[in-house]
Amino acid sequence: MKLIAGNWKMHKGPAETLAFFDGFEAPDGVDVVLCPPFVSLEAAVGEDWPIYAQNVHCAGDGAFTGEISAAMLVELGVHGALVGHSERRQYFGESDDSVRARAEAALEAGLKVIACVGESEAEREAGLTESVLARQVAVLPRHADLVIAYEPVWAIGTGKTATTEMVQDAHAYIKSLHDTRVLYGGSVKPENAGELLAQADVDGALVGGASLDPGSFAAICLAGSRS
């Protein structure tokens, strides 16, 4: 089955989170994951779908102000975590090594992980897409509970979407490096979800803005159930 994950980023407090679930129904035949902000995790846990955090620290505890450990998420009832999202890399200094450490810590604690990789527009134009992906994927652990999300940085929150050929080629290349499910993330919306999810090596989607509306996200999930 396709895996459709909704990353809410810094949107929806606890009240809005509960309101979303009141209006959201997913079809059969698709795996659904929601990734609310930290303050809304407790409100979301216990709903009908697995809940992932948007980030996780590599240490079990310590003097790391503002960070959250994998053990804390497990205790809360969270099922998994994103690591290495392009916004974490761009704005908060995440590196390949820190992404690896966070992924390993989460998996060791029993969380599932969606690890994000992807090239910038400058890197793609310079013909460096495969070398960037190879570097980012090489550090990721081999584990049954790790999924990779390919998100070309130039298509995150810009309204730009990679062509289906670009998406298929990138996914096939990632799978040649790492035997796992690979999701596509980058301005996925109901209008393009069907075509993107129909590609042979696309195993699902990591959805940003279009996951904030229950109807929009349900339409993407429906596209996944039909692919």
Query: So what's the pLDDT on residue 29?
Result: 97
- Could you give the C-alpha distances from 13 to 6, 72, 151, 218, in angstroms and in order? 15, 19, 25, 20
pLDDT averaged over the chain?
Answer: 96
Q: How far is residue 225 CA from its own chain's centroid?
A: 18
142, 177 in Cβ contact below 8 A?
A: no
Query: So what's the pLDDT on residue 154?
Result: 81
Amino acid at 19: A
Query: Would the pLDDT of 124 be above 80?
Result: yes
Phi-psi sector, 5: left (phi>0), alpha (psi -120 to 50), beta: beta
Instruction: Find the range with the poorest average confidence among 29-43, 129-143, 159-173.
Output: 159-173
Q: What is the pTM of this model?
A: 0.97
- Could you give the C-alpha distances from 175 to 12, 36, 91, 123, in angstroms and in order? 34, 28, 28, 20
Catalytic option among 79, 119, 151, 171: 151
pLDDT in tens, 74-112: 999 999 999 999 999 999 999 999 999 999 999 999 999
pLDDT in tens, 147-199: 999 999 887 777 777 899 999 999 999 999 999 999 999 889 999 999 999 99
**Structural domain for 24, as ranges:** 2-226
Percentage of the chain lying above the pLDDT 90 cut: 92
- Catalytic annotation present for 108: no
- Catalytic annotation present for 178: no
CATH number of the domain encompassing residue 48: 3.20.20.70
Residue bearing tokens 């606890």: 14
Catalytic option among 85, 87, 94, 104: 85
The count of domains in the chain is 1
Amino acid at 153: V
